[in-house]
A and B are shown apart, each in its own frame.
Chain A
Amino acid sequence: METVHQLIELFPYAIAGSILAGIICSFLGIFIVSQRVVFLGAVLTQVAIAGVAFSFLHVIHIETFIASLLGTTIKEDSLLHNFEPAFYSLLFALSTVIVFSQTHRQKTLTQDGILGIIFVVAIAVRIMFIQKSPIADVSEVESILKGDILFISQTEFFTLAAILVFTVSIFALFQKQLKFVTFDAESASAHGINSKMWLLIFYLVVGTGISLTTRFVGDVFAFAYLIIPASIGILVSKKVKNVFLISVLVGAIVPPISIYIAFKFDFSSGPTAVVTAFVLFLVVYLGKKLKG
């Protein structure tokens, strides 16, 4: 209990933020897994990081630009000062989903092939951006890029809360259209629903959620929580509603438990969260197999 008290005292936003990040990823993950575009999740996490790395180059200083528009100056640690990495992360991710949403039109390359190209290019340009970054220590840049659950700040916590509200609101408001186009886009089009537009909206929401969450909690955590909770939900549920319920519960409960384990046994929090979720997945999978 003492460790728990210590954790709550030292990292209140980390614990609460990890819950929010877990919920966002597991919720979006249901659509990613059921749409069979798991690789898109991996690509978006890498693209988001490449966007953050690009922001360190300060090629276009978005913060100064916005500050000048608002007639203000940038203060250290202000919300505006943290804006640039999130902005580029989002810009890179949204550009990727717009490209991806158009790939079904062409017939010479597979979607997997296109995602594979974006994936390796994102990793390559990240390395190049880091090499040209004014911050001297590469490992320091890498750690900033990768995010860390334990260092979720108050601002990041509220940003995650806003992302969660935004994501759930879009899916709640447009559930009929999004449900139909993600189930069977061809028939949705035939029945008068603009599938291209709704799929683009779907991918833009997914891109926004994944890129910003990756910025705060890291690519390993984000990708794992896109896939593992949704897979557990699909494995054990016989109703769509329960898939959502179980996935989101796993996404909400496992991260704080992982932080406890990481703190207690001196592990990194991100990888511990992934391994803990995987152990749970394994238990559920084997349990289901044994049950027949």
Chain B
Amino acid sequence: MNKEIIKFTDASIGYGKTAILSGINLSIIENDFIGIVGPNGAGKTTLLKTLLGNIKLISGKISRESLRFGYVPQRDTVQPLLPYTVFDVVMMGRYSLSGPFKGINAEDKRIVEESLSYIGMSDLKDKNYNSLSGGQRQRTLIARALAVGPSVLILDEPTNGMDTPSHYSLLDLISRLHDEKNLTIFLVSHLLTDVANIVKKVILLDQNYFQFGPIEEILSEENLKKTYSTDFHVSQSDGEYIITPKHMKKL
């Protein structure tokens, strides 16, 4: 049986003294694959930052195994003016693992090469990061997170603004990472159908509303209506979930 690696007990999260979400009870086990969904401003980013330890709990308790996190930000937040190569960007993943005065060693280079190879970007390692397509940039940021050697991978809206082939290819890569590398994955997305079809459990949240559990329990039409204040239609076709707002169904 997989062991528990993160546990929130009666936790309140937010900024300063203002709680966005209260009464969070959450138990994450090794190799969990969790989607985080909710409307804009629901507290998804706050939850992630709390998970990473960048924001302190307002109240309650969080216990964590000594975990190493790999973080993949929304790629639009990373738009460098300097011509960093793909290799440079992925190497940054190694920077947090050595002290200020230590240089980059052969082992760091090997791990960066390995991460690039795994996500199929070895051929582009000398390319300027700015010259890449959206999908390639996102893969580079995933390789950087892998270079950390993480046990938990956190992806924030990884498929935002991508064309359809890149979108599905990236979701496929994320699934592979979970299966082959045994990573515990948190995937933040506003695309409910994607989340339902890729993850095993889901956190559904809005301000002061929090649900956590298996997909089939949490992503019900009733829960979605409570969260988004809109009627949703949840159905399955060929074993795949299709979740659409009801007004779209009429169209």
Contacts and interface: CB of A to CB of B under 8 A. Distances in A.
Contacts of B161: none
A193 B101 contact: no
B83 interface: yes
Contacts of B237: none
B154 A190 contact: yes
A180 B95 contact: yes
A189 B52 contact: yes
B100 A173 contact: yes
B82 A243 contact: yes
A112 interface: no
B71 interface: yes
A190 B100 contact: no
Given A173-B101, A187-B71, A36 B96 contact: no
Contacts of B135: none
Contacts of A30: 82
A189 B243 CA distance: 34
B101 A192 contact: no
Contacts of A240: 82-84, 88
Given A174-B100, A177-B100, A189-B54, A34 B80 contact: yes
A238 B83 contact: yes
Contacts of A188: 92, 95-96
B236 interface: no
A193 B144 contact: no
Interface in A25-74: 30, 33-34, 36
A184 B82 contact: no
Contact of A183 (B69, B84, B98, B101): B84
A261 B154 CA distance: 57
Interface string B138-179: 000100110010000010000000000000000000000000
A289 interface: no
B81 interface: yes
Nearest to A240: B82
Interface string B73-98: 10001101111110011001101101
A75 interface: no
Interface string A128-155: 0000000000000000000000000000
B92 A184 contact: yes
A291 interface: no
Nearest to B98: A176
B128 interface: yes
A5 interface: no
A229 B95 CA distance: 28
Contacts of B82: 30, 34, 183, 234, 240, 243
A116 B184 CA distance: 45
Nearest to B147: A191
A234 B80 CA distance: 11
A186 B75 CA distance: 12
A70 B43 CA distance: 56
A179 B91 CA distance: 11
B73 A177 contact: no
Contact of A179 (B72, B92, B144): B92
B83 A237 contact: yes
Given A183-B78, A189-B52, 18 more contacts: A34-B80, A34-B82, A180-B92, A183-B84, A186-B71, A186-B77, A187-B71, A187-B144, A189-B54, A190-B73, A190-B154, A191-B93, A191-B96, A192-B69, A193-B96, A239-B85, A243-B82, A243-B83
Closest 10 CB pairs of A and B: A190-B71, A176-B95, A191-B96, A34-B81, A192-B96, A34-B82, A180-B92, A180-B95, A184-B78, A193-B96
